[in-house]
A and B are shown apart, each in its own frame.
Chain A
Amino acid sequence: MAELMIDAKDVTRNFTISRGMFRGKQQLKAVNGVDLTVERGEVLALVGESGCGKTTLAKVLLGLLPQTSGTVELCGQPINDVPRLALARTIQPIFQDPYSSLNPRKTIGSIIALPMKVQGIADQDSMRRRVEETMDLVGLPPRLYDAFPNQLSGGQRQRVAIARALVNRPQIVVCDEPTSALDVSVQSQILNLLNDLRNELNLTYIIISHNLAVVEHIATRVAVMYLGRIVEIADTDTLFKDPQHPYTRALLDSVLTPDPNMGIPNNQLGASYPNPIDPPSGCSFHPRCVNAMPHCATVAPNGKADGGHYVECHLYDDAS
């Protein structure tokens, strides 16, 4: 049995939305009862449309947002009990846009060294050595040590962000859209780098992406989110070969592979993503679902797990 790195049970995160002076406040359930486990060495991808709660879930796992209810265990310890610094040593984020995630007034060297300074674990010399080692690891030439972010290309900046995340050798890295701000030729370099680093440092990744081709390439397991819930989760091969939830199928249909013999797919999803403040009753996907049945609008489906393949849909729910 592989070691469990993350064990989240029934995690919910609400945001309170003010609807104007006299209309009171309302709860927006950004993450709504998510169960999730991640084992050591896995690459778990979270996919879904914007607003489905993937980034909120990642923030909860990073300890940046407290969950409203439910429990998250990180390496066997409840995340709320882990001190801030220890948490930062275990789990680190990489963000989407390397143009806004690096301080333009700091040199590359000091950007990468900052997590070490925060932890207060090294003196100047060993800090510099460690930064240079890490720069080498992510393929940054040492001459960039004193450069500023604006002297770097997009791909190099993303490498700096990766180096900063890895300098304290965390065990889990959460990558929020790590390549979507980059050009294709740079994207492939960063994906190759992430893959190499995983093998070299035995890392566990949680990757958030809307690019399913990227997900297929790098992930070992995929969780599909819709309106704050995980509606299907399976290992990558199973999910791409045998998607069960109608939403997963629509998502996969929408992937545009570079094949000139195929036209533009019709995913038959209605135009609008529902308003998360006022989610549809029953199965929240039913207004857009091609397989919707009458009771989908009233009864929420129970999840059905078949081995590692979990799906939440009335089509597979025996009870209904």
Chain B
Amino acid sequence: MSDRVLHVENLTVDIPLATGILHAVDGVNLHVDRGETLCIVGESGCGKSLTSLALMDLLPTKATRKIKKLELGGESILGYSEREMSDVRGNKMGMIFQEPMTSLNPAFTIGNQMIETLRRHRNLSNDAASELAKRMLEKVGITAAGQRLGQYPHQLSGGLRQRVMIAMTLLCEPELIIADEPTTALDVTIQAQILLLLKELQSEFDMGLVLITHDLGVVARIATRVAVMYAGQIVEEGTAKQIFENPLHPYTRGLMRCIPVPGKTKRGTPLGSIPGMVPSLIGDFTGCRFADRCELAGDVCRQSDVPLRDPNGKTQAYRCIHSIEMLAKGGVA
């Protein structure tokens, strides 16, 4: 069995609008190994959520997905029918969304919803399924699990609901979990607990994890590898250590300067910022998408598309025409 759980080549998502075609995701390549956490980080509108939806084939109907290769556990799931995909989703591929209240059905008990998953994918009897559901709730740290099975989502706190979501995702022991902002709606204290839980369970079940977030603190603490997205493209990719200690792309460097860090950024002094706004992705776009906000940008940057490259073969690839030495010297306003 291969170690590679997810392999994506050349993923493109287009959304036709009245004013033209919106190129929301443009040529994204991803891979995740067993036991690895890939964090996709970027600001709102950069295409990170659409990327995750595209992987699960859950895009809104008017969006079109073009993809060269999509393999889950070494098996291509590209030509799968809707029926076959729903066998994959929740079974081999688990999903956790941001707001647990909107992903749980308010009209059914927790137990009902967990048992439904098991009966759909595992063909278990009701009793066996509810026993397994109970064990899984205990695994994610929920006390009085038997009692919780009979409760409705609104009777649980936000942290508990997210634990239920995680338990539900783990029921069928997926090879890959895709988590889209799993802790954004939670308090910091609960966020730390949920992330710790996710990480422990990931190594216990030896799963691949794709975590989508905009919180660089979360990324630094949980990621094995990081992909930074900007305007539909991956602009930099590398290990967490590389990205945080030696960011290359001017956008990544700019982002790092924006975050206040206790003990590092001095109070009262201004934080870094990135001037300008994300360009419109409607219609064709040539050149570097960050050029208008980048102080290193020249005419060359706007002339042709910039490929993602890894000049030193150190697994840290970036999408900028400038050399590593030049980027290390020059800063971003």
Contact = CB atoms under 8 A, between A and B. Distances in A.
Given A184-B255, A191-B271, A271 B159 contact: yes
Contacts of B218: 256
Contacts of A250: 189
A253 B192 contact: yes
Interface string A224-267: 00000000000010001000000000110111111111111111
A195 B265 CA distance: 14
Contact of A266 (B44, B196, B215, B241): B196
B216 A258 contact: yes
B53 to A, nearest CB: 20
Contact of B192 (A192, A195, A264): A264
B318 to A, nearest CB: 17
B199 interface: yes
B46 to A, nearest CB: 9
B262 A188 contact: no
Contacts of A271: 141-143, 159-160, 163, 190, 193
B244 interface: yes
Contacts of A253: 192
B214 A257 contact: no
A273 interface: yes
Given A185-B254, A192-B273, A261-B241, A267 B189 contact: yes
B146 interface: no
Given A210-B188, A269-B193, A272-B160, A263 B273 contact: no
A211 B219 CA distance: 16
Nearest to B185: A50
Interface residues of A, number: 45
A291 B244 CA distance: 35
A1 B284 CA distance: 63
Contacts of B77: none
B274 A185 contact: yes
Given A189-B273, A191-B260, A210 B244 contact: no
B82 interface: no
A107 interface: no
A213 interface: yes
Contact of B259 (A188, A240, A264, A267): A188
Contacts of B268: 195
B195 interface: yes
B263 to A, nearest CB: 8
A218 interface: yes
Contact of B221 (A214, A240, A256, A273): A256
Given A217-B271, A258-B259, A210 B192 contact: no
B196 A264 contact: yes
B255 A256 contact: no
A259 B220 contact: yes
B182 to A, nearest CB: 13
Contacts of A240: 262-263
Interface in A183-236: 183-185, 187-189, 191-192, 195-196, 210-214, 216-218, 236
A184 B192 contact: no
Contacts of B199: 263-264
Interface string A42-57: 0000000110000000
Most chain B CB within 10 A, of A213, A218, A253, A264, is at A264
A115 to B, nearest CB: 28
Interface residues of B, number: 55
A186 to B, nearest CB: 8
A208 to B, nearest CB: 13
A262 B223 CA distance: 11
B187 interface: yes
B221 A210 contact: no
Contacts of B258: 184-185, 187-188
Interface string A145-174: 000000001100000000000000000000
A265 B192 CA distance: 6
Interface string A267-279: 1010111000000
B167 interface: no
B220 A260 contact: yes
Contacts of A269: 189, 193
Contact of A264 (B187, B222, B255, B256): B222
Interface in B185-238: 187-193, 195-196, 199, 214-223
A195 B218 CA distance: 26
Interface in B41-61: 43-44
Find the residue from A153, A183, A214, A218 having the highest chain B CB count within 10 A. A183
Given A188-B258, A236-B267, A260-B240, A213 B196 contact: no
A257 B244 contact: no
B64 interface: no
Contact of B271 (A188, A256, A265): A188
B27 interface: no
B188 A212 contact: yes
B107 interface: no
B192 A213 contact: no
A185 B142 contact: no
A246 to B, nearest CB: 12
A250 B267 CA distance: 23
Contacts of B223: 260
User: Which of A184, A189, A253: most chain B CB closer than 10 A?
Assistant: A184
Contact of A257 (B142, B262, B267, B273): B262
A267 B190 CA distance: 9
Nearest to A183: B43
The 4 closest A-B pairs by CB, nearest first: A256-B217, A217-B260, A188-B258, A188-B271
Interface of B: 43-44, 141-143, 157-160, 163, 187-193, 195-196, 199, 214-223, 239-241, 243-245, 254-263, 265, 267-268, 270-274, 277
Interface of A: 49-50, 153-154, 183-185, 187-189, 191-192, 195-196, 210-214, 216-218, 236, 240, 250-251, 253-267, 269, 271-273
